[in-house]
Amino acid sequence: MLIKNATVVDPSQALHQKCDIRIVEGAIVEVAPMLSAAADERIIEAAGNYVLPGLFDMHVHLREPGQEHKEDIASGTAAAARGGVTGVLAMPNTTPTVESRAIVEDVQRRIAEKAKVQVELTGSITKGLRGEELSDIAEMIDAGIIAITDDGRTTMSEDFMIQAYQIIEPHDLVLISHSEDHDIVDGGAVHAGKVSADLGIKGIPPEVECNIVKRDIALAEQTGAKLHIAHISTKQSIAAVRDAQKRGLPITAEACPHHFCLTDEILYTAGNLAKVNPPIRSEEHRAAVEAGLLDGTISCIVTDHAPHTLEEKAGDIYKAPFGISGVELSLSLSYTHFVKSGKLTIDRLVELMAIQPRQLLNLKVPQIKVGESANLVIFNPNVERVIRAADMVSRGKNIPYEGMTVSGDVKMTFYDGAVVYEE
Ligand SMILES: [Zn+2]
């Protein structure tokens, strides 16, 4: 197969050049301008398109085992491939929770059988995310998890947090903190501010997040372990992370498209579909997330892909589950918001979406060079499209982006040498 006339962008080798790419039996065998096609060779005309390393989304909920009516490993990884995402880090809040070696091994068997892209696993910090008993973290590390988190909950016990940090530190694993102070959240459903007051919905103030971010930074500092703040959403939390980084601590953070593309005004039109935890906040917080990505304080773009059925998301906003689907939309949303607007180069976007998440997790970074197996995405930045939930590959159609126009779409995705998505 010959990909012709693409602009190859691979910042891991400082490559940004118009090239052809020849792939034979899944391996990249030539990267050079003006390659001529062999007889019978399939030609992919890619003039005006980018070829990027496959993306890695380090925050997805695949829902299997136990919640397959929302998503499963096959549908979730097909959605990832649709979005140019060739690797995901799956959160452990399945049913059962990923909390022991046996469960890790069960999920690994399912992945080997069904996944269309790379799936790496997290283990929970506490059993059932209940915060009452530590999970079998050392055993799970031995079985192959690459991070720990109680995502969906915060581990409120400082003792458990310190014990968890001490277990992971020698392995250079990262603890991913879903930062939510359960002592003060008090049933809020949306960001606390003008919009929540206007709609008469109980709000979630910024302190709910930044109290825990500050606590977790202090605990990480005590133990020397790596801390990663999940789906960071407030000005105060980002300032705390920036300050910790200035002091040389191994603290990182990730942000989601809904936290830099949208403000809580979206609640007026999308309603419950914009209910997510942490909430979509006001403009000052949205701008802070954007600034954190621009100045490098936040090093990864993730989706917090959280599929639910539309039935579950309907009705009483307090009863509807938190969460937005969208592993397949992140590249178009991020490209439109940051690159099309001239705020970031495509090269920087690739660092945020493909390179830095893998580096943080000590995973191999795919490169577009001779000898590598094809792990790449062909992205056409020149098309405009309207986002429709009905077009989505994911079983979760719960998005607040319905009807939004974005620039760019994935034309083909290759993972492990194979085409895993083609438009
Ligand atoms: Zn979370």
Q: What is the pLDDT of residues 250-288, one digit of tens each?
A: 999 999 999 999 999 999 999 999 999 999 999 999 999
Residue 186 pLDDT exceeds 90:
no
pLDDT at position 185: 85
CA of 51 to the centre of ligand 1 (A): 31
Supply the CATH number for residue 185's domain.
3.20.20.140
Q: Are residues 395 and 318 in the same domain?
A: no
Q: Are residues 18 and 60 in the same domain?
A: no
User: What mean pLDDT is predicted for residues 62-88?
Assistant: 98
For the chain, give the percent of residues with pLDDT over 70. Answer: 100
CA of 154 to the centre of ligand 1 (A): 9
Supply the CATH number for residue 45's domain.
2.30.40.10
Q: CA angle, 353 as apex, 270 and 67 as ends, to 5°?
A: 55
Query: For residues 205, 211, 213 and 215, what is the CA-based torsion angle, rounded to 10 degrees?
Result: -170
Of 316, 339, 360, the residue that ends a domain is 360
User: What mean pLDDT is predicted for residues 129-147?
Assistant: 97
Model confidence over 344-395: pLDDT tens digits? 999 999 999 999 999 999 999 999 999 999 999 999 999 999 999 999 999 9
Among all chains, which residue has been given the structure tokens 């008993």?
Answer: 133
Residue 218 pLDDT exceeds 90:
yes
Mean of per-residue pLDDT scores for the chain: 97
Q: Are residues 44 and 97 in the same domain?
A: no
Query: For residues 95, 96, 99 and 101, what is the CA-based torsion angle, rounded to 10 degrees?
Result: -120
Sequence-distant (≥ 6) Cβ neighbours of residue 376 within 8 angstroms: 21, 51, 52, 53, 54, 86, 366, 368, 413, 414
Q: Are residues 251 and 283 in the same domain?
A: yes
Residue 56 pLDDT exceeds 90:
yes
User: What mean pLDDT is predicted for residues 24-49?
Assistant: 96
User: What mean pLDDT is predicted for residues 221-225?
Assistant: 92
Residues with CB under 5 A from ligand 1 (ion): 151, 178, 230
Q: Which domain holds residue 129?
A: 55-360
CA of 129 to the centre of ligand 1 (A): 12
In the three-class reduction of DSSP (H, G, I as helix; E, B as strand; rest coil), residue 272 is classed as: helix
Give domain status of residue 356, yes or no.
yes
Q: Are residues 351 and 380 in the same domain?
A: no
H/E stretch holding 291? helix 283-295
User: What mean pLDDT is predicted for residues 61-76?
Assistant: 98
Among all chains, which residue has been given the structure tokens 């060779």?
Answer: 41
Please identify every residue annotated as catalytic: 304
Query: How far apart are the C-alpha atoms of 41 and 43, rounded to whole Å?
Result: 6
User: What mean pLDDT is predicted for residues 114-128?
Assistant: 98
Q: Are residues 35 and 133 in the same domain?
A: no
H/E stretch holding 138? helix 137-143
CA of 416 to the centre of ligand 1 (A): 29
Model confidence over 382-396: pLDDT tens digits? 999 999 999 999 999
Query: How far apart are the C-alpha atoms of 180 and 227, rounded to whole Å?
Result: 15
Cα dihedral sign, 59-63-65-71: negative
Contact 228, 149 (CB under 8 A): no
Cα dihedral sign, 185-190-191-195: negative
Here the tokens at position 332 are: 């178009």
Q: Are residues 10 and 103 in the same domain?
A: no
Give domain status of residue 221, yes or no.
yes
pLDDT at position 329: 98
Give domain status of residue 365, yes or no.
no
Q: Are residues 386 and 243 in the same domain?
A: no
Q: Are residues 129 and 148 in the same domain?
A: yes
Model confidence over 291-331: pLDDT tens digits? 999 999 999 999 999 999 999 999 999 999 999 999 999 99
Q: Are residues 353 and 386 in the same domain?
A: no
Q: Are residues 296 and 404 in the same domain?
A: no
CA of 16 to the centre of ligand 1 (A): 35
SS3 content of the chain, % helix, strand, coil (to 5): 35, 25, 40
Contact 92, 130 (CB under 8 A): no
Of 318, 334, 360, the residue that ends a domain is 360
Give how many domains the chain has, as a whole number: 2
Give domain status of residue 183, yes or no.
yes
Q: Are residues 289 and 395 in the same domain?
A: no
Beta partners for residue 280, in sequence order: none
Among all chains, which residue has been given the structure tokens 């359960």?
Answer: 182
Confidence of residue 1 (pLDDT cuts 50, 70, 90): very high
Of 360, 385, 400, the residue that ends a domain is 360
Query: How far apart are the C-alpha atoms of 137 and 234, rounded to whole Å?
Result: 30
Give domain status of residue 130, yes or no.
yes
